[in-house]
Structure formats: structure tokens, C-alpha cells
Amino acid sequence: MKRTLPFALAAACALAVHPARAQQAPPAPAWASSDPVLQRIWDEGMNRSQVQPLAQALLDSVGPRLTGSPAIQAAYDWAVRRYAGWGITARAEQWGTWRGWQRGYTHVDLVAPRVRTLEATMLAWSPGTDGPVTAPAVILPDVADSAAFRAWLPGARGKFVLISQPQPTCRPDSNWARWAMPESFERMKTERAAAAEAWTARIRRTGQDTRTLPRVLEDAGAAGVITNLWSLGWGVDKIFNARTMHAPTLDLSCEDYGLVYRLAEHGQGPRMRVDAQARFPGDLPASNVIAEMRGARKPNEYVMLSAHFDSWDGGSGATDNGTGTVVMMEAMRILKSVYPRPARTILAGHWAGEEQGLNGSRAYVEDHPQVVQNLQALFNQDNGTGRIRNFSFQGFTGVAPYFRRWFAMLPPALVDSIQLNDPGLPSAGGTDNASFVCAGAPAFGLGSLSWDYGTYTWHTNRDTYDKISWDDVRMNATLTAMLAYLASEEPQRLPRERRTEFPVDQRTGQRGSWPVCQPPARNTAQSTR
């Protein structure tokens, strides 16, 4: 719905002056359960929510939490202090070390044939420059074979080398579909697909791949490596890690990469000036933050709340996975307030190293077999800011009656639209509940509405505080607290029987099976990513 500018400004000012109003909710709705603890969880979670101040402090002040960075060390301390302020015991539990890296500033300019400041992000673990470096920009050549590429390599010395396919358009396909003539849209997609195939072949003929090519270029004396990994949305790129050890690796925005590429392609002499700072403080501790509310009746049985704490650092790590982190912290705060003496011990696991291969949660499973063996249920959230809409039973064939009974006790506003997948398939990777599922422990993912997560915020330079839907996150935290309470109070242990029949994987042609647990990489040298 369109609004006039004055109305929009007035609404924005009202929210700015009265942020607490966004936290208010109606009284607990009528629903089947008369359980007073569930009623109090609703009231605390919906009317006195702390998700917004928690997220602001974590995402704006602490910032992105790259494993091995000083920022995640600060985040460990922040989380432990927050839990202590609520009267909840928490600790940072080290499981390994990781290569330390701290981002400094990155200034990138086009200085010829005209001047323009470029939108650029230095990739994680990239070296910086030793002061400003000005050099020509050249395109990775289209060579006949690896011998021809080796013959060209001396020409890379002292130059910034562009190694990514230029996009024919930086408009999202949805924009084309809305405005273009159908034949124009189809022609663009056909030409783009052909260009992508040709670029893949260009790299293959060098005898390298996208992982090894940057190192070969820097060994040849390249001033830097320039990439673009467009995420198919307006102004958004995927931001991962560099492969270089001495020369900087920079991602240019889709638009600016295309500009520099065209200038080089047409012989118009592009030159770039790069001034980038990075610091390598040595290996730093890699830890999980573990919070604990000790059980009063069954202290050696466990309910666990789970979210990964680390992030990439192109944005602020807001929806991947600041929202999951805040959901679990807020759920613990709610439980401490209204259910301070749980039947079973309730844990919250905030995992580091997830982005490098689920390393923090895999290490916890390896180091704490007694928790895994006595785990009643684990609830993990890690796919953005949206309301929970999907719940798979992860291949555990006997848990459906428990969850259907629990869900029937919860407010329809929280659960009516959730799709249950019975029995579902066990998670083999992707997020941290998989680290427990492979060990046979009932660990469930709370799947969220998309909010265009894959395009706009997952591993991107736009994953920032402003992308969060506060009502959705507040509802998720309230629902998670309710599920933790019901799992804690359930008289019976959840059954662990697993499905034995699996469908054929269409990609491999092989019939699936229960996933096998993988060992964690406890330092950078052990990592395969």
C-alpha cells in the first residue's frame, strides 16, 4: 500500500520516539490450554520482549562475528554478561583455535579513465595492502589451454585481475519479468546462461579452479584479485573468504564490477587505487557459549536451544544468524522469568565455526556424549527473520504424537500455519541440529518464512539490523520458550526410533541413509572449506 511522504515520516518518527510500542501485544488469546506457565510465557514474550535491544547491541555494537576474529571474542563476553544479568549461568567453552583476522578500512577508487569511488568489500581473511596501491585492471584472459595461461601469467604482475563473469544486467529477474517484453526477458536469460557457461570454460582452460586461481595469480605478482558474486537482487553480493595469502581479494558490486570490466574489455585503460587494512593477530580461541538452567527433578536429562553465533562479516550477521541467537537468548530469559525451576536441565548452545562446517556443534557432540545420550529435544533456528512455518520430525518415527499433543496446547497464532513433516528426513548438514541428528539425538530445526533470505541476507553484504521483522522474531522466541517448557515437563523421554526406508537421491541416483557424524575441524589447518 502506498503512503504519502508526510504520513510515512510521521509514522517513522512515532516509532523512533516510542520504540516500546512495537513490543506491545494483546492479552493472551483464548486457546485450548489452561496451563498457567504457557500463559505466563505468552505474556512475558509478547508484552515485555527484549529481542530488539538484544539485537541492537549484538548487531550494531558488537557487529559481525567471524570465527577467529576479535569481534567474536567480544561477542562471547557480551553473551556471558547478558546471561549473568538474567541470573543464568553461562560460559565460553573453547573447542579449538582459528586463524585470527581483523578487518580494517577498505577504500577502492577508479582513478582512470575517470574518477569514481567503487563499492567494494574485502573478503574475509584477505591480506590488506601496504599503503595505497594504484595499478591497471585487467581481465582474466580467454586462453586456449593451461600452457597458454602459464605463458600469460607474467602479464599479471602489478595488476588487479578480474576473475568473475560480468553480469549482463544487475536488475533482478523479478524486475525483468514485470517490465520487459517476454521475448526480451527470454533472450537476456539465454545470453546470460551462455555467458556463464563460457566463463566456466574460460577458467577451466587455465588448468585452475575458483579456489586455486587466486593463489596462482598472487604468486605471479598480481596486485590483487577482483571478484563479483552477485546474489541476484538489488545491490547485494555474497561475501565469503579470500584464497590469497599476500595480495588482497576484493568483491566489487555487480554494477561497479561491470563498469571496470567493460572499460578493460574495450581497451579504455581502467586503473584502480586500493587502500585496504587487515590485521592477523595469530590463532585465537574458537568457543561455544553454553548457558544453563539446572533441572530440579531430572538434572541429567536435557532440553537444548540452539543457534550458531558466528557469521560472515560482509554485513552484521543479522539474519544469519543474529536472529536465531536472539531467539534462543530471549527464550532463555523468558523461561528464567516464568519457569525458573525446570524439570530437566535447559541448555542454550551458541555455536562458533558453523560457517566453516558446523565445527562448534560437532565439537560439542564429540566432547559431551552424556548430553547427547540424555537429550530430550533440541530446537535450532538458522534461516532468517521469518515466522516459524516448517517443522520436520527429522526421520524420528515415534515423536509425532508428542509434538501434535504439544502443538495442540499452544496459541493458534503461533502454530496454526506450521507445516509438520512426518517423519521427514534427517538433516545431513547445513545447520547445527544436523550435528546431533547424526548421533541419533532428537534435534529439530525451526524452519522460517523466506523473507527473500537466500537472495538478500544469507551470506551477503546487506545482512544488517534493518532487515529484521521484529514481530516474527518475538513470536519465534515465545514459541521456542513454550516448546522448551513442554519438552522439559514431558513425563516420557522422546523415542529415538529412526526411519529405515529412504528415497533415492535424484542428484546421485543412490538411496539415502541415516547421516554419519563428521569430526569437527578444531583449527584452520584441519578445515576443508
Which residue is associated with the grid cell 541448555? 347
Residue 4 falls inside a structural domain:
no
Q: What is the mean pLDDT of residues 99-128?
A: 98
Residue 27 has pLDDT above 70, yes or no: no
Closest CA to 426 of 488, 357, 359, 497: 497
Q: What percent of the chain has pLDDT over 90?
A: 92
Does 265 share its domain with 399? no
| pLDDT single digits (tens) 34-64 | 899 999 999 999 999 999 999 999 999 999 9
In this structure, are 106 and 55 located in the same domain? no
The reported pLDDT for the residue numbered 25 is 52
Confidence of residue 234 (pLDDT cuts 50, 70, 90): very high
Residue 19 placed within a domain: no
Whether 247 shows a pLDDT value over 60: the answer reads: yes
How crowded is the C-beta side of 303, counted as CA atoms within 13 Å?
Answer: 28
Quote the cell numbers at residue 60: 550494531
For residue 529, is it within any domain?
Answer: no
Q: Look at residue 9 in the predicted model and tell me its pLDDT.
A: 36
- The grid coordinates of residue 283 equal 590463532
- C-alpha cell at position 230: 552477485
What is the pLDDT, as a whole number, of residue 410?
96
Q: CA-to-CA distance for 77 and 69, rounded, in angstroms?
A: 13
Helices (H) and strands (E) in the chain, counts: 16, 16
Name residue 291's amino acid: A
Supply the pLDDT for residue 529.
62
Q: Which of 279, 298, 332 is the last residue in one of the domains?
A: 279
458 and 389 fall within a common domain: yes
Contacts of 509 (CB under 8 A, 6+ apart): none
In-domain check, residue 15: no
The answer to whether residue 495 scores a pLDDT higher than 80 is: yes
Amino acid letter for position 517? C
Sign (positive or negative) of CA dihedral 222, 223, 225, 228: negative
Per the domain annotation, does 198 fall within a domain? yes
pLDDT at 6 over 50: no
> Residue 76: inside a domain, yes or no?
yes
Task: Taking residues 273-292, report their average pLDDT.
Answer: 98
Question: Do 439 and 408 have their domain in common?
Answer: yes
Helix residue spans in 382-507 (DSSP H): 400-408, 412-415, 433-437, 470-489
Q: What is the DSSP letter of 241?
A: B
Indicate if 299 and 331 belong to the same structural domain.
yes
Residue 110, pLDDT above cutoff 70: yes
Quote the CA–CA distance of 39 and 24 in Å, as a whole number. Answer: 16
Averaged confidence pLDDT in the chain: 94
Looking up residue 221, the CATH number of its domain turns out to be: 3.50.30.30
Please state which of the ranges 8-17, 158-167, 200-209, 460-469 shows the lowest mean pLDDT.
Answer: 8-17
How high is the pLDDT of residue 14? 37
What is the pLDDT confidence band of residue 135, given thresholds at 50, 70 and 90?
very high
SS3 254: helix
* Helix, coil or strand: residue 256: helix
- Structural domain range at position 45: 31-100+283-524
The total number of structural domains in the chain stands at 2
Q: What is the largest CA-CA distance in the chain?
A: 78
Instruction: Report the alpha-carbon distance of residue 64 to residue 78 in Å, rounded.
Output: 13
